[in-house]
């Protein structure tokens, strides 16, 4: 297939080109106050239901069969920082089916194994999500101390929970350069994706 032909494919058709591989992100909950349980259920349903509706209207509805969002609910993650979730995610990615990555090569992983979604207290209050780069770039300890990177500064963005978790975003994030083009520090508001 030529580059021009590839560019004309829908995001769903590009996902389908991967065959029967599972696709979808891991979603970590890091706030467990009982008052937010209904909102957590709402966010989970919204992500899956909206994707299913979009996929059903697409040129490749068969990808619904391989969609696999993994929702992690573990009260031990209460208040977990981005860097802690990155460690959990990296362990999950390495152990997951379909993970084939040469750690010594300078290429990106696929979207499923490169990014995850974080649902923290702000997410549950404001219907936003954290989209997290699961494999942060190496920084020396002085940079981390200066920038306060224990919270994962530079490794995640805040996105709206409504109409943002799409096949288009998922497929575009197969190219790590797209991440850099949409990056906006969370403290500066929602990223435009």
Q: Single out the residue of 145, 136, 153 nearest to residue 188, CA to CA.
A: 153
DSSP 8-class letter at 38: H
Q: What distance in Å separates the CA atoms of residue 121 and residue 144, rounded to the nearest whole number? A: 24
43-100 pLDDT per residue, tens: 999 999 999 999 999 999 999 999 999 999 999 999 999 999 999 999 999 888 766 6
Compute the C-alpha angle 49/69/19, nearest 5°.
100
DSSP 8-class letter at 99: -
Q: Where are the domains of the chain?
A: 3-188
CA distances, 34 to each of 46, 71, 76, 119 (Å): 19, 17, 14, 14
Q: What distance in Å separates the CA atoms of residue 107 and residue 101, rounded to the nearest whole number? A: 9
The percent of the chain in helix, strand and coil, each rounded to the nearest 5, is 50, 15, 40
Q: What distance in Å separates the CA atoms of residue 111 and residue 25, rounded to the nearest whole number? A: 8
Confidence label for 132 from pLDDT (cuts 50, 70 and 90)? very high
10-47 pLDDT per residue, tens: 999 999 998 999 999 999 999 999 999 999 999 999 99
Report the share of the chain in percent with pLDDT over 90. 69
């Amino acid at each position: 297939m030529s580059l021009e032909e590839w560019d004309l494919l829908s995001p769903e058709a590009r996902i389908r080109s991967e065959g029967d591989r599972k696709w979808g992100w891991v979603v970590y909950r890091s706030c467990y106050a009982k008052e937010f349980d209904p909102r957590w259920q709402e966010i989970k349903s919204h992500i899956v239901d909206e994707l299913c509706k979009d996929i059903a209207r697409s040129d490749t509805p068969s990808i619904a069969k391989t969609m696999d969002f993994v929702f992690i609910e573990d009260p031990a993650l209460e208040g977990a920082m981005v860097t802690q979730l990155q460690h959990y995610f990296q362990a999950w990615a390495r152990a997951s089916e379909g993970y084939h990555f040469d750690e010594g090569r300078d290429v990106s992983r696929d979207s499923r194994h490169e990014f995850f979604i974080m649902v923290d207290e702000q997410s549950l209050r404001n219907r936003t999500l954290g989209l997290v780069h699961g494999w942060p770039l190496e920084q020396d300890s002085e940079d981390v101390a200066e920038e306060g990177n224990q919270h994962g500064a530079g490794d995640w963005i805040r996105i709206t929970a409504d109409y943002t978790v799409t096949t288009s975003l998922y497929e575009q994030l197969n190219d790590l350069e797209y991440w850099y083009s949409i990056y906006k520090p969370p403290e500066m508001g929602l990223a435009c994706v």
